[in-house]
Amino acid sequence: MKNGTCWLDDEGRFIQAHGGMIARFDGLWYWYGENKDADNVVEGGVVRGRVPFRGVSCYKSRDLHSWHFEGLALAPVQEAGHPLSPERIVERPKVLRCPATGQYVMWFHADRSDYTLAHAGLAVADRPQGPFRFERLALPNRRDCRDMTLFEDPLTGRAFLVHSGDWNKTLYFSELTDDYRGFTGVCHAQMVSQEREAPVVFVREGVYHCLTSGCTGWTPNTALLATARTLAGGLMKLVCDPMEGPGARRTFGAQATWSFEHDGQRYLLLDHWQRETLRTSGYSILPVRFDGDEMSVCWQDEF
């Protein structure tokens, strides 16, 4: 697959799974993401940076290269004012299988078209491909939620909704309850006043790694890595931009959305947003390298 371009599924159609994630359940890979298969909204002759909500897609693969469309994991609701109606925003959906209940739990950024609602949305399914049943919108610990991800902490067994809050000023790690459908009240504030978004979190050798982008809408900017040995509030320190080589300063024209491991190799999944034709936004999967504890990501033409 050629990095930076639109990728095709096994039926030759553009993969529509933006702002997404790749998970492994029972030996199969699942890719969830925003289905942006519509023209951008035009208002007063101006092309807006959004499309009507078309659902959250689910693709399945045995090898991470050939992807089969499993349908909409979360479908839009044709009812004005509903959080899943076409005029709403649903971004960055992420899915975990809850060990306590066996259910598949999806959290996503739910918003109005002007991004002033900034809630987290919750949907639940019994199978990885869905259909996911919408449960509710939430303000985690009374904080707003814009860009977000889910993080299962292998060191403690706890799961977190990691979300940009305080109008993107702070990155919150809001701990999920045992059923992954609510919040315990434990909440760690990180990167205070740093204005970071698009969080990607993983643990390597006992160290929490948190990669974020700056807040420049759909325009690529500089990624930054923060690390810590504990999630305790405020202890995560910005370290460096781990991107290397030509184009690194603007994250190779992309924005990260997820990281996963396969056969001992860690990868980064990125979106190449096309602001005026969001449906044509491309993808990259780049290997993450470590030299000692120093992380780097270099461009590669192919995945």
What is the contact surface with ligand DGJ in residues (CB under 6 A)? 19, 49, 91-92, 147, 197-198, 217-218, 255
The CA–CA distances, whole Å, from 66 to 8, 39, 56 equal: 9, 26, 19
Between 9 and 147, whose beta carbon lies closer to ligand DGJ?
A: 147
CB of 112 to ligand DGJ, least distance (A): 13
H or E stretch covering 261: strand 255-262
Between 152 and 197, whose beta carbon lies closer to ligand DGJ?
A: 197
Between 162 and 198, whose beta carbon lies closer to ligand DGJ?
A: 198
CB of 106 to ligand DGJ, least distance (A): 16
CB of 292 to ligand DGJ, least distance (A): 30
CB of 110 to ligand DGJ, least distance (A): 12
Cα–Cα dist 87/237, whole Å: 38
The CA–CA distances, whole Å, from 64 to 22, 28, 45, 97, 151 equal: 9, 9, 40, 19, 21
Residue 283's closest CA among 31, 12, 72, 38? 31
What lies within 8 Å, CB to CB, of 155 at 6+ separation is: 203, 206
Between 219 and 300, whose beta carbon lies closer to ligand DGJ?
A: 219
Cα–Cα dist 122/133, whole Å: 9
CB of 154 to ligand DGJ, least distance (A): 25
CB of 89 to ligand DGJ, least distance (A): 8
Between 198 and 269, whose beta carbon lies closer to ligand DGJ?
A: 198
Between 108 and 132, whose beta carbon lies closer to ligand DGJ?
A: 108
DSSP state, residue 8: B
CB of 250 to ligand DGJ, least distance (A): 14
CB closest to ligand DGJ, residue no = 217
Beta bridge partners of 173: 162, 188
Q: In terms of C-beta distances under 8 Å and separation of at least 24 residues, what long-range contacts does 296-301 make, across chains too? A: 296/242, 296/243, 296/244, 297/242, 297/243, 297/244, 297/268, 298/243, 298/244, 298/245, 299/3, 299/245, 299/246, 299/247, 299/248, 299/252, 300/3, 301/2, 301/3
End-to-end CA distance of the chain: 5
Between 25 and 218, whose beta carbon lies closer to ligand DGJ?
A: 218
